């Protein structure tokens, strides 16, 4: 793979050891021949911060990485995720792995995983993208809502529920999983739609093909919908419909060549093996 020679860092200073690790990796980058580095300590990126960079190294948890997704996708550069958080589904490198392999990674020893993004249209000229999910709820959290969902202008069904989760395969292990949705391999091209606490027991997740255009229509009297993108950005929708589809562009995540998706699942979700034979 191509080496990284212009590198940006995004560090969550609230994560223990993140700032110190950033200093170590900056030093390694300098010794590895990286020509240009920049460092941002905080989740909010200055406008154009990633412009001209080959990659961005995010040090923190999954939430820190999700905060960089829009900018990285816009610039078409990969994210190197180093985990200093708790769960770390998206951050592929531990702190020790980063220290050990960072020079080799910067020299081209990595692979790229291209992940689907959701595009959400919430009004005229208002579009946003999400790596994990788009969650739609009533603006008033204590109230149920009634909404209709259309797939390519065909009615799917109407829901009376706490909300809906639209998930990418990458985000299938996040809110989608907590709401009872399925785990989807991240290489799949699909959208999962999972109702949150539906009032009809037969309402279950639906998996849509990659080209589907979904439309959510608010049928709740005197209510506005809250749309959350990756749990990071919330918008209150005053209009009656929201559109969700896969975005035309994807996000690249830099991973070790030995990265195993199922090893991560076994570790993070604490999957166990078969029954142990009694002796």
Q: What is the pLDDT of residues 135-157, one digit of tens each?
A: 999 998 778 999 999 999 999 99
Task: Return mean pLDDT, the chain.
Answer: 93
Q: What is the CATH number of the domain that holds 19?
A: 3.40.50.10330
Query: Is the distance from CB of 163 to CB of 145 less than 8 angstroms?
Result: yes
- Do 182 and 147 sit in the same domain of this protein? yes
Q: Domain range holding 264?
A: 6-115+250-268
- Which pTM value belongs to this model? 0.93
- Do 155 and 199 sit in the same domain of this protein? yes
Would residue 278 count as lying in a domain?
Answer: no
- Residue 147 has φ and ψ, to the nearest 5°, of -140, 155
Query: Is the distance from CB of 185 to CB of 179 less than 8 angstroms?
Result: no
- Do 87 and 23 sit in the same domain of this protein? yes
Q: What is the CATH number of the domain that holds 213?
A: 2.60.200.30
Structurally, how many domains does the chain consist of?
Answer: 2
Would residue 202 count as lying in a domain?
Answer: yes
Would residue 180 count as lying in a domain?
Answer: yes
Shortest CA distance to 203 belongs to which of 213, 193, 212?
193
Q: What angle do CA 177, 178, 181 make, to 5 degrees?
A: 35
- Do 123 and 109 sit in the same domain of this protein? no
Has residue 47 got a pLDDT over 80? Answer: yes
- Do 110 and 173 sit in the same domain of this protein? no
Residue 279 confidence class, pLDDT cut points 50, 70, 90: low
Has residue 275 got a pLDDT over 60? Answer: no
Residue 62 annotated in active site: yes
Query: Is the distance from CB of 90 to CB of 62 less than 8 angstroms?
Result: yes
Would residue 221 count as lying in a domain?
Answer: yes
Mean pLDDT within 55-59: 98
The pLDDT score that the predictor gives to residue 187 is 95
- Do 57 and 129 sit in the same domain of this protein? no
The pLDDT score that the predictor gives to residue 277 is 56
Q: Which of 54, 62, 128, 133 is catalytic?
A: 62
Would residue 273 count as lying in a domain?
Answer: no
Angle at which helices 18-31 and 95-106 cross, to 10°:
20
Would residue 56 count as lying in a domain?
Answer: yes
Instruction: Choose the weakest-confidence range: 164-168, 220-224, 228-232.
Output: 220-224
Would residue 274 count as lying in a domain?
Answer: no
CA 226 to chain centre: 19
- Do 70 and 139 sit in the same domain of this protein? no
CA 274 to chain centre: 31
- Do 127 and 49 sit in the same domain of this protein? no
């Amino acid at each position: 793979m191509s080496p990284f020679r212009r590198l940006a860092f995004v560090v969550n200073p609230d994560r223990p050891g993140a700032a110190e690790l950033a200093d170590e990796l900056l030093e390694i980058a300098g010794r590895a021949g990286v020509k240009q580095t920049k460092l941002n300590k905080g989740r909010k990126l200055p406008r154009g911060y990633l412009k001209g960079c080959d990659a961005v190294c995010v040090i923190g948890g999954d939430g820190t990485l999700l905060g960089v997704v829009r900018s990285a996708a816009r610039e078409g550069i990969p994210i190197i995720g180093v985990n200093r958080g708790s769960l770390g589904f998206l951050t592929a490198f531990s702190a020790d792995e980063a220290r050990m392999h960072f020079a080799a990674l910067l020299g081209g020893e990595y692979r790229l995983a291209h992940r689907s993004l959701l595009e959400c249209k919430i009004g005229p000229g208002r579009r946003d993208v999400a790596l994990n999910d788009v969650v739609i709820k009533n603006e008033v959290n204590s109230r149920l809502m009634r909404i209709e969902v259309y797939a390519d202008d065909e009615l799917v069904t109407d829901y009376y529920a706490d909300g809906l989760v639209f998930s990418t395969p990458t985000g299938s292990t996040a809110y989608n999983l907590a709401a009872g949705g399925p785990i989807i391999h991240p290489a799949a091209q699909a959208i999962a739609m999972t109702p949150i606490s539906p009032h009809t027991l037969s309402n279950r997740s639906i998996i849509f093909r990659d080209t589907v255009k979904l439309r959510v229509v608010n049928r709740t009297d005197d209510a506005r919908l809250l749309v959350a993108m990756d749990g990071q950005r919330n918008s209150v929708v005053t209009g009656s419909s929201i559109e969700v589809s896969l975005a035309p562009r994807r996000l690249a995540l830099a991973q070790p060549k030995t990265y195993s998706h199922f090893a991560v699942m076994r570790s993070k979700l604490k999957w166990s093996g078969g029954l142990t034979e009694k002796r």
